Structure formats: structure tokens, C-alpha cells
Amino acid sequence: MSDEAAPKKPGGKGRMILIILVAVMMGGAGVAGGLYAAGAFSHAEEGPKEDPAKPRLVLKGEDPVAIAGKFGGGEEGHGEGGGEAGAAGHGFKLPKGGVDLPRPKDISAYQATYFQMPAPYTSNLADTDSLVQIALAVSTYYDDRVIQAVKTHEMAIRSAVLMLLSQEQELELSTPQGKQALQKKLTVLINRILREKTGYSGIDNVYFTNFVIQ
């Protein structure tokens, strides 16, 4: 018989390393699974929450009052400063001056709501004895909370509109271009007041339902 040693079984040391690696990988997977179950990754998956006080766009066929009612707004649930109070109550911090609600890109998919301001506005014009009297209506593509905010803060809106009118020139307001410019100024003005009072804007446009200079 040969004195040559029997061949060693291969993989003894390599098998041990492989077993250790598998154990480490399984242990890591178990830790990751435990963290996931504990909710460690839940915040990354949830995404940002939306302020419930923010008015919603109204699709055609929807009821703007019903949508507002779901979030504590509408004709019976809207209080003064509702946007700011709602945001603060749900842990949301609005930037100073409030938030502008954007106009929808495809307005054909959304429903416009119109509101006639309750009384006309009469004011002297700048550098003249002439008077201007206008009646206004506003529109929004957002739910009833925007219209209710206009109603709630109508006194502040009226004061600001009269101050703006007193700075206008008769010659400018006598032209279509001047009336269009005033229309844009009034839209910006009313939205600014709504942002200050409620935290959100939402008025899409202002319309003249009467316009007289005398």
C-alpha cells in the first residue's frame, strides 16, 4: 500500500466562510424586516400630507357646497379666519401672507362658481369731480369655502376696492383696455385679502356687471 496521504475533502474552509456570509445576510434581512414592521420606513412612503383647510378644485358635475362640507366648510361651517385656524389645528404652517391657489390648467374639466357682490361700489376718481359706479361678480374653480370667505370678508374687500377706485383716472377707465386693467387689479386685490384673512386665495376672475362713469 502506498504511504501517500488520502486527499483532503475540498471546501472545508470555504464552506465555513459561506455559512458565515449567509448568516450575516439573513441577520441583516431580519433587522431590515423588523425596522419596516416597526414603521421606520413609513414616513418615506407616505409622502407629504395636504392641508384639510385648503379649498379643493371642483370637477364638473360635483357640488362645491358638498365638497366644502366634507372639510368643515360650506355655508354652515365656514368661520372667520377658517383657513388659518384649520391649518394651525392640523399642524400645518402656512407661509406669511398665505398661499395662492393656482388656476387649473384645463379649465374645461372644472366647474366655475359665480357670486355677485351684494352692493355696487361708488367712488370719486383721481384728479376729477367724476364718479365711477361699478357692480362686481367673482368666480372660482374651487369649492364653496372660497365664496364663503368672500362673503365673510366682504367689508374688508369693499374698503380696499373703494380705495383702489379713488386712485384710478377717468380717461383710462373710459377705454376697454383700462377696464381690463382694472379687472386684473381687482382680482389681485381680492385674492390678497383672502390670503391675509383665511390663508388661501382662490378667485379666478372679477367681472363687471355694471360700469358707469358720470
Q: What is the 3-state secondary structure (H, E, C) of 131-177?
A: EEEEEEEEEECECHHHHHHHHHCHHHHHHHHHHHHCCCCHHHHCCHH
Q: How confident is the model at residue 81 (pLDDT cuts 50, 70, 90)?
A: very low
Where are the strands (E) in 42-151, listed by range?
113-116, 121-124, 131-140
The pLDDT of residue 175 is above 60: yes
Determine, yes or no, domain membership for 109. yes
| Domain total in the chain | 1
Does 11 map to a domain?
Answer: no
CATH of the domain at 77: 3.30.479.30
Q: Is residue 190 part of a domain?
A: yes
Q: What is the pLDDT of residues 104-155, one digit of tens each?
A: 999 999 999 999 999 999 999 998 899 999 999 999 999 999 999 999 999 9
For residues 142-156, one letter each, b for 16 or more C-beta atoms within 10 angstroms of the residue's C-beta and e for the rest, the string is: bbbbbbbbbebbeee
Give domain status of residue 135, yes or no. Answer: yes
Q: What is the pLDDT of residue 24?
A: 52
Please check whether residue 123 lies inside any domain of the structure. Answer: yes
Instruction: Decide which of 72 and 21 is more confident.
Output: 72
Residue 190's domain comprises 64-213
Predicted confidence (pLDDT) per residue in 7-24, tens digit: 555 555 556 655 555 555
Is residue 59, in this structure, part of any structural domain at all? Answer: no
Percent of the chain at pLDDT exceeding 90: 60
Mean pLDDT of 160-181: 96
In a domain, 21, yes or no: no
Residue 53: which residues within 8 A CB-CB, separation 6 or more?
71, 82, 83, 84, 85, 86, 87, 89, 90, 92, 199, 200
Decide which of 160 and 1 is more confident: 160
Query: Is 12 a member of any domain?
Result: no
User: If you average pLDDT over residues 159-183, what whole number do you get?
Assistant: 97
12-16, 52-56, 174-178, 205-209: segment of lowest average pLDDT: 12-16
